[in-house]
Amino acid sequence: MVKSIISIPPKAEIEEQTALPVEDLRTYPAKQPLVSKLQPKMETRNLSVHYGSFQALKDINLKIAKNKITALIGPSGCGKSTLLRAFNRMMELVPEARVSGIVHLDGQDIYGPKVEPVEIRRKVGMVFQKPNPFPSSVFDNVAYGPRLYGIRSKRLLVQIVEQSLRQAALWDEVKDRLKESGLELSGGQQQRLCIARTLAMEPSVILMDEPASALDPIATLKIEELMQSLKQEYTIVIVTHNMQQAARASDLTAFFMIDEKRAGKLVEFGHTQQLFISPKQKQTEDYITGRFG
Amino acid sequence: MPRLTLDREIHLVQDEVLLLGSMVEQAMLKAVDALKHRDLAAARLIRNNDELINEKRYAIENRVLILFATQQPMAHDLRQLAAVLEIITELERMGDYAKGIAKTVIIIDEDETPIPIREICSMADMAVSMLHRALSAFMAEDVTLAYSIHEEDDKVDELYNYVYRKTIDAMIANPDTIDHGSNIMWVVHNIERMADRVTNICERTVFIATGELLEMSSSDDEWEEE
């Protein structure tokens, strides 16, 4: 007997399969809330940054939404990295840099008179373009911050290191190599080690300055996937020159340009999907379609 | 800074869409002409040439997919190329309608029963004219023109309803003409659907120009709601 290649599922199964959530599938994507309605984790008001007499950023008003990934894009010299550094007071480490305006973290002015810059940098961690692990073991790299904060308990440190490496999606690859030098790891692993080092400080915001620009495509995708899992607990701001990366990895995108005096200004801010399909500003359109310059 | 490669490719894709459009226009006009003159040879040619329309559609689709993969179009470029994928699908289906009419010519053969050919030719002229201008609106991204073409669909629907009613009446009066009448209804149905699909092209033009995906309402929709 020839066996039928078509298997007919029992009626109950058919009904179950067809009982799709029709309401949810009717429109895609679901209507996005206005960016101004999103719960802000950080917020700038009329933020300007000067290097001596040169104005690098002019009157930036931007809300960084909680538990979202915000990408900052724009041509070189438009102030993206400057803004990132203003978000955790690293700008103060630059001689002649002057910040004016307001930057709030959870509603508190981070440049307030009683605020310790070190505490802000703990809460707002930073991952740099080039992986920069310390020339010490994988374990010590991650334990460095907590130790600096006075944690001496070996048991607690082991716990923090494991948890941070797990969150950075690196644990399985290094759990047997914790005593090896962090510099022995591949570029992508080194970058995730740096992310783990940041996570060990229990920040609430992670700033990433072109975190994948020195990595190969596979390592890049791993970082992007990692960002997606991290945003459940953290708020992420990423500067990237790679527009495809901004489109792939972020929820919101802010596009910056320089004005006639070469000061960086915010041109457009919106949901990433909207900005890359139907930008509102011509400058944004020209930039993301590669017709800028 | 222009993107020479992408811009050149987009222009080529647009040219190919216009070419496909003119193949469809010709197919529809010739199909109705074959019906008018009971030209079986012409009908067979139209039926066979539909394959060329299908091939052209897939060639354009491949070209667009390659551009997605190699040029990563964004914003206006992305909308334009995404719209092309939709428009060529509509054009290919219109080609099928012309082929359907050609097949009907072959089926009717030498049946002498009268055909409302004047109305059928008018409908085809209107639908083809709508298509022609819809593709101009697509090229120029002319939203106003796109909306005005969509409004003409009602006129095609009116003629369709007229022929439909007349054919039904004829079939009731003389049941021997039921086969013939069904064929005629098939012809006018195809032309009416062609005009509907022109509206879909107009919707895509609005999408390219504004980024808004919308459905243009028609008097058909109102009728359905009643």
Q: Give per-residue pLDDT as tens, A184-238.
A: 999 999 999 999 999 999 999 999 999 999 899 999 999 999 999 999 999 999 9
What's residue B1's pLDDT? 73
A-B Cβ pairs (cutoff 8 Å, strict): 37
**Cβ contact, residue pair A276, B78, below 8 Å:** yes
Chain A residue set in contact with B, beta carbons under 8 Å: 243-244, 247, 276-279, 284-285, 288-293
Q: Residue B1: closest CA among chain A residues belongs to which residue? A: A291
Q: Report d(CA B87, CA B105) in Å as an integer.
A: 27
Predicted ipTM > 0.95: no
Residue B177: CB partners within 8 Å, gap ≥ 6?
A: B113, B170, B171
**Confidence check: pLDDT of A152 > 90:** yes
Q: Report d(CA B191, CA B173) in Å as an integer.
A: 25
| Chain B hits for A248, Cβ within 8 Å | none
What's residue A2's pLDDT? 46
Percent of chain A with pLDDT over 70: 89
Q: Residue B69: closest CA among chain A residues belongs to which residue? A: A244
Alpha-carbon gap: B74 to the closest alpha carbon of chain A (Å): 5
3-state DSSP assignment of residue B174: coil
Vertex A198, ends A158 and A182: CA angle to 5°? Answer: 65
**Confidence check: pLDDT of A252 > 60:** yes
Using CB atoms, which residue from B3, B79, B210 is nearest to A291? B3
Q: Report d(CA B183, CA B181) in Å as an integer.
A: 5
CA distances to A27, A268, B165, B205 from A274, rounded to whole Å, are 15, 11, 47, 18
**Cβ contact, residue pair B74, A291, below 8 Å:** no
Mean pLDDT of the B153-171 span: 95
| pTM > 0.95: yes or no | no
Closest CA to A207 of A126, A87, A131, A128: A126
Q: Report d(CA A163, CA A56) in Å as an integer.
A: 39
**Cβ contact, residue pair B75, A278, below 8 Å:** yes
Interface contact B4, partner A, CB < 8 A: no
What's residue B226's pLDDT? 39
Closest CA to A288 of A129, A75, A79: A75
**Cβ contact, residue pair A278, B79, below 8 Å:** yes
Mean pLDDT of the A49-57 span: 96
Q: Give per-residue pLDDT as tens, B47-99.
A: 999 999 999 999 999 999 999 998 999 999 999 999 999 999 999 999 999 99
Query: Which has the minimum average pLDDT: A11-20, B88-97, B179-188?
Result: A11-20
Q: pLDDT band for A3, please (50, 70, 90 cuts).
A: very low
Q: Residue A276: closest CA among chain B residues belongs to which residue? A: B75
CA distances to A8, A141, A149, B209 from A144, rounded to whole Å, are 61, 5, 9, 54
